[in-house]
Amino acid sequence: MQSTSPLLSNYLGGQWQNGSGTGTALTDPVLGTELVRVDATGLDLVGGFDFARAQGGAALRALSYGQRAALLAAAVKVLQANRDAYYDIATANSGTVKTDSAVDIDGAIFTLSTYAKLGESLGDGHFMRDGEAARLGKDPLFASQHVFTPIRGLALFINAFNFPAWGLWEKAAPALLSGVPVVIKPATATAWLTQRMVQDVVQAGIFPPGALSVVCGSSAGLLDALQPMDMVSFTGSAETAAIIRSHPAVVQHSVRVNIEADSVNSALLLPDAAPGSEAFDLLVKEVAREMTVKSGQKCTAIRRVFVPEASYDAAAAAIAARLAKTTVGNPRNDSVRMGALVNRAQLNSVREGLAYLQTQTEVLFDGAQLTLVDADPALACCVGPTLLGTRQPDAADRAHDTEVFGPVATLMPYRDLPHALALVRRGQGSLVCSLFGADPATLASTALELADSHGRVHIVSPDVAQLHTGHGNVMPQSLHGGPGRAGGGEELGGLRALNFYHRRSALQASTAVLAAL
């Protein structure tokens, strides 16, 4: 029986076009109904990429940073005008409750708006200086000035399923502000929201043709169409990241690569934060929140929780008590606080991951005991939050090595602070670690100890209890990325994000020539 759901168009080569295949269905993870289809079969990727470089790239580079910032601001207005439609799509396609949809949709708009404001500060320039000029000899007349100029290739974004809105704009905002055209390949499972946002902005006529493209469906052939001056930014699994890094475009043609992969993030309760203290309560609240926001489908979610040995039982009981209040089910029901996993494949993956971790842990809170609200367990891709634990953290290698991409975390005790730091580092590089305590000096020294193995260290003390932005919230002003297992990449961080889309060069010339810049 032929599907009757609409086929989403791709925007490539400055025009909307459909793939030649029947397409892949996107479904409602709660109701199981088919929503739309996506297909990229038969698209002229080489021609489309050439158009983006020659037309989109040239038109963007002709504008100043300030002018490109104005385009970002115009895109913000378009997205704000269509927020209701985006929320409807998120509910249907991602199965998220409104507060979780806001993390994605409003987070995307906020990030784009932030880069629009940052771009204003760069004014009417077309390049950025990198430091001051340095003399190259005894006579100061001949000197070297380092500059950043926009690359003349394109940026290919291969995004993950969990943030179809934010994942699009947190990458595209700094790229477009830099003057680099972008091609977005959203994860197939939730491509609808990405495609709709691109469609709205394209139809508004804000960016030059070729500056913003979207390809929905299979990623086959995308890397083959890259050229030496292009770049690719990927968010997803370590296995796919390895395939990208080994592709001839990267190995032979030095295409620049940014990777964000698996991350087994941590929350650490410092020794001074005993049960009953405000810092202890803040950790309990944040762990439960991070486990349930977007059903734990966040690359920054807390996966490991470390507490002093004497606090283990109290922490287990407190976190379990908060999780027991979680209502799970259909996000259309106002009483539901946690929606679904994105699809059946993800549900199976989480169940398999839980079984794998349970060979070395015990269940401290079983999410399976929660009754689904307004959802059929046989159809809905819902799973309750599950807290695991082990009193033998040194032997629990699976808890340190495995990221179950769902509402799952493992509680572990430590003997002393050096032991805790060693356990955190067992994650082999993470996106973020949160510290909870009250003593500023201990918090500061611990943060510096862990900074080398994390892209971000989030420090929560009682004085910022109502101010901190959250362990898992990625703010555009701060770095997003991490070393080692987390992929070794960097995104955001304010204007630092623009560096990836520029080429640093040294201009060696007379001071008169350098002054003419």
- Domain range for residue 316? 266-473
pTM: 0.96
Rounded to whole angstroms, how far apart are CA atoms 485 and 472? 17
pLDDT at 229 over 70: yes
Q: 17 lies in a domain? A: no
Q: 479 lies in a domain? A: no
Question: What confidence score (pLDDT) does residue 3 get?
Answer: 60
Q: What is the mean pLDDT of residues 489-513?
A: 97
CA angle 194, 105, 211 (to 5 degrees): 40
Q: 217 and 272, same structural domain?
A: no
Q: 409 and 346, same structural domain?
A: yes
Cβ atoms of 498 and 177 within 8 Å: the answer is yes
Q: 275 and 355, same structural domain?
A: yes
Q: 85 lies in a domain? A: yes
pLDDT in tens, 380-410: 999 999 999 999 999 999 999 999 999 999 9
CA distances (Å), 190 to each of 17, 301, 432, 434, in order? 19, 19, 25, 29
Q: 22 lies in a domain? A: no
Cβ atoms of 257 and 234 within 8 Å: the answer is yes
pLDDT at 2 over 90: no
pLDDT in tens, 102-158: 999 999 999 999 999 999 999 999 999 999 999 999 999 999 999 999 999 999 999
Q: 336 and 205, same structural domain?
A: no
List the catalytic residues. 260, 299
Q: Which residues pair with 37 in a beta bridge?
A: 7, 25
Q: 146 and 177, same structural domain?
A: yes
pLDDT in tens, 300-336: 999 999 999 999 999 999 999 999 999 999 999 999 9
Q: 28 lies in a domain? A: no
Q: 271 and 207, same structural domain?
A: no
Q: Give me the sign of the Cα torsion angle 14, 16, 17, 23.
A: positive
User: CATH number of the domain that 455 lies in?
Assistant: 3.40.309.10
Question: What confidence score (pLDDT) does residue 445 get?
Answer: 98
Q: 38 lies in a domain? A: no
Q: 418 lies in a domain? A: yes
pLDDT in tens, 238-272: 999 999 999 999 999 999 999 999 899 999 999 99
Q: 172 lies in a domain? A: yes
Q: 164 and 298, same structural domain?
A: no
Query: Based on the number of CB atoms within 10 Å of its own CB, is 51 exposed (0-12), middle (13-18) or buried (19 or more)?
Result: buried
Number of neighbours of residue 67 by Cβ within 10 angstroms: 15
Q: What is the mean pLDDT of residues 336-348?
A: 97
Rounded to whole angstroms, how far apart are CA atoms 121 and 98? 34
Domain count for the chain: 2
57 token code pair: 């790239």
pLDDT in tens, 33-50: 999 999 999 999 999 999
Question: What confidence score (pLDDT) does residue 198 get?
Answer: 98
Q: 250 and 281, same structural domain?
A: no
Question: What confidence score (pLDDT) does residue 1 get?
Answer: 42
Q: 244 and 321, same structural domain?
A: no
Q: 282 and 242, same structural domain?
A: no
Q: 275 and 197, same structural domain?
A: no
Q: 440 and 366, same structural domain?
A: yes
DSSP for 155-166, please give it: EEEE--SS-TTH
Q: What is the mean pLDDT of residues 460-467?
A: 97
Core vs surface per residue 263-286: b (16+ CB within 10 A) or e: bbbbbbbbbebebebebbbbbbbb
